[in-house]
Amino acid sequence: MQPFTVHTGVVAAMDRANVDTDQIIPKQFLKRIERTGFGEFLFYDWRRREDGSDNPDFELNRPAFRGASVLLARRNFGCGSSREHAPWALGDYGFRAIIAPSFADIFYNNCFKNGILPVVLPESEVDELFRRVAARPGMKLTVDLQKCTVNDHQGFSAKFQVDDFRRHCLLGGLDDIGLTLAHEADIRRYEEQRGIGV
């Protein structure tokens, strides 16, 4: 998993509350067995018209948001079913951080396990970021996991909190497998002592 330390990227603003995982990655695209390749289907029902062409009214299709890697959203982002494909699709599309006033619990946990930093900020600060993006489409934010700060280098600065263990894992690029492999020598020694796998 790619570590997350400090990231600066264009902000895409999605002014919608309660964005559920079935909108993030619709169920018809869950047949793949790999973790990659889901980005093209991200928000498919909103991004595409019935004929498959881009919907120019959808946020991510706006020219100023092309190549965005920071997603700004409203409360309860990632609600709905617990599908891990949702952060896979967001990450495959290129998002490294998502900022919202709140997240659904399972989605929030899945983000950390897949290299995406979900940042919880108060509604007032999220409102201010929406105002700034509206005034300067294509603006960039810097999300710093080392300092737990978000800033736009234009006067906006906010602090956020992250559980120490999740922060440690994301800074080190450690998913569940990576955490286990950090103890590979101990596991090998245990197996050798008990004649396992010999």
The residue count for the chain: 198
Structure confidence at residue 197 (pLDDT):
63
Phi, psi of 171 (to 5 degrees): -60, -35
Position 126, amino acid: V
Structure confidence at residue 176 (pLDDT):
76
Phi, psi of 158 (to 5 degrees): -140, 150
Domains of the chain with CATH codes: 6-194 (3.20.19.10)
Query: Torsion-angle region of residue 19: left (phi > 0), alpha (psi -120 to 50) or beta?
Result: beta
Structure confidence at residue 125 (pLDDT):
98
Across the 198 residues of the chain, what is the mean pLDDT of every consecutive 10-residue run? 96 97 94 87 95 93 95 97 93 98 97 96 98 97 98 96 95 82 78 73
Structure confidence at residue 139 (pLDDT):
97
Q: Rounded to the nearest 5 degrees, what angle is found at the Cα of 142, between the Cα atoms of 65 and 149?
A: 135
This prediction has a pTM of 0.90
Structure confidence at residue 76 (pLDDT):
98
